[in-house]
A and B are shown apart, each in its own frame.
Chain A
């Protein structure tokens, strides 16, 4: 159908021959082509056959009236606008209304005025073209929308693979995030650390839609990779901040909260940057501690200005930490009222069974706003005993290089390094080059971390571990550790790594020496065997993992031997 053409094909239907002749001549003189019908039935048939763009219909015709013909023609035209102009000498309102009810668009009264006829044909032709343009654009928009939804589903699939490879379903976590919340820029990720702890991150990117969502991908990638390699929370935050600063537009940033859960010491390390106040529910006292954001959101500060601090919170089993996006307190009802802090606190105040807290919050918010929303994420983290996890080793991604088979290496870390750098991921990465060692990454991490913190804290920094046992010990201990570390101007920690192949596996010999004065290891070993509550349980753990542990010199050097059997490992793997 040539839309732009000014010459139209016009159907004229009138039972009076003279009227037909006059109208046909008038219309033809204005440059249009005319097909004529003598009654309504013929008009409908000709419409189907000729597909005219405009119809001029007499009202009273034999066989089928103009009203009925108009109805049928409008139906046959479907979505295309085919203007129907009734030819009439009728003047009464009732008859004119009937014309419109039948789908007529206008009237032309007898005697015909060529000028008015021309004006009406032109006006309806413009309307017809506009309608057609609208339809084309509507179809285009519908097509775009369909493609957008397909792309979102596709993106979600990729995102789910990246973002949900972690441990969000762990038994000590409850979370709320609608499937498409990622398109509002919400992130919720959690992963077990090689040491057995857990890192959780909840994030809310500024803005909405795809631009807000896209930053979640690199964030999740960094998070999972660094957690698996044993990096600490400050290191991960720092790296994520740098990446967000680098990839997000100037106005873009990510409000978030990260929690490092240590099930052994019952400590949560909490960093909150730009999220609304988070709540810690103390099960024993049934009280709430409010944790406010103390840091700037990720992606704002340059790496050298980013502060990697965190709060250390000692908790008990059964205590629950709640983190949420602003979608919770800013949830709105249809009167545009906010859900607000008071309603949120009331949920805690009215709670009778803390296992139900999470559901009660969810229901309070949803019943307030009337329907679930995509703009809301929250998570509950419970402190539970480490033993409640059926821990399976978390294998570090195997290196693609089929690695080193017989080698040794040594490292020495000096004050400037000890102050600002955690060497464990570097050493673990080095060890992961060894074939078959993959499944042991968790244990090796624990061994390295234990040896390193002993060498640093008790050796180089000369701290007394009995400090830890006192009330609020951990907080004080960490503060003292930090103070001594910043004042450190000499000292070192050395690692010697040695790998040998054995018949069905291999052995790693790790020696750690420090610049400290040493300690009476014989006395410690005696105490361990006598007193199981003694705080040297780290050594107990080492002993259960290692073939041997030897202290030498004055106690400032320790050597462990860690062996493995590949066939045993693969048998165990199949057993799982």
Chain B
């Protein structure tokens, strides 16, 4: 599966017009913060916090047509809901990997 549905993102870009750049920048900034906070929640064994962060990340990814990352976030959310923090640590590494790719692809769509 593509990291991002670029055709759909293209449509969103047309809808957002001038605000598109700001949207992408906000998404990258918020997502960085969330992923960092997920690391912290893992250290603190805060499953509830983990679930909320994963949920929010999933929601905003879906709206940006970033489906694989959203799916990874959903897996983490589901595990966190069941208080299973152990398997999450390995998933977060994959999440960070995927996010780097998505960030790069998104930045390429920015206009001057």
Contacts from A to B (Cβ < 8 Å) = 15-19, 21-22, 25-26, 29, 58, 60, 62, 89, 110-112, 114
State which of B30, B52, B58, B70 has its C-beta within 8 Å of the C-beta of A18. Answer: B30
Flag if B52 contacts A60 (CB, 8 Å). yes
Let me know if B8 is at the binding interface, CB within 8 A: yes
**Distance between Cα atoms of A15 and B34 in the complex (Å):** 13
Given contacts A60-B55, A89-B59, A110-B59, contact A18 B15 (CB under 8 A): no
Let me know if B101 is at the binding interface, CB within 8 A: no
Flag if B22 contacts A21 (CB, 8 Å). yes
Flag if B55 contacts A21 (CB, 8 Å). no
Interface size class of B (residues with CB under 8 A): 20 to 34
Flag if A89 contacts B62 (CB, 8 Å). yes
Q: A16-B59, A19-B60, A22-B16 are in contact. List 5 more A-B contacts (CB 8 A).
A: A18-B30, A18-B60, A18-B63, A89-B59, A111-B62
Closest Cβ–Cβ distance, residue A287 to chain B (whole Å): 89
Closest to B70 in A: A89
Total A-B contacts with CB atoms under 8 angstroms apart: 51
Given contacts A60-B52, A111-B65, A114-B15, contact A22 B23 (CB under 8 A): yes
Given contacts A21-B22, A25-B19, contact A16 B62 (CB under 8 A): no
Flag if A29 contacts B62 (CB, 8 Å). no
Q: Could you pull out 24 A-B pairs where Cβ atoms are within 8 angstroms?
A: A16-B30, A16-B60, A18-B26, A18-B27, A19-B59, A19-B60, A21-B19, A21-B22, A21-B23, A22-B16, A22-B23, A25-B16, A26-B15, A29-B15, A60-B52, A60-B55, A60-B56, A62-B52, A89-B55, A89-B58, A110-B59, A110-B63, A111-B64, A112-B63
State which of A18, A26, A89 has its C-beta within 8 Å of the C-beta of B64. Answer: A18
Closest Cβ–Cβ distance, residue B32 to chain A (whole Å): 13
Closest Cβ–Cβ distance, residue B2 to chain A (whole Å): 14
Let me know if B105 is at the binding interface, CB within 8 A: no
Closest Cβ–Cβ distance, residue B52 to chain A (whole Å): 7
Let me know if B12 is at the binding interface, CB within 8 A: yes
**Distance between Cα atoms of A26 and B62 in the complex (Å):** 16
Closest to B59 in A: A89
Flag if B15 contacts A19 (CB, 8 Å). no
**Distance between Cα atoms of A22 and B13 in the complex (Å):** 10
Chain A contacts for B8, CB-based, 8 A: 111
**Distance between Cα atoms of A26 and B11 in the complex (Å):** 12
Closest Cβ–Cβ distance, residue A107 to chain B (whole Å): 13
**Residue among B22, B55, B56, B70 with max Cβ neighbours from chain A (10 Å):** B56
Chain B contacts for A21, CB-based, 8 A: 16, 19, 22-23, 26
Closest to B64 in A: A18
Chain A contacts for B19, CB-based, 8 A: 21, 25
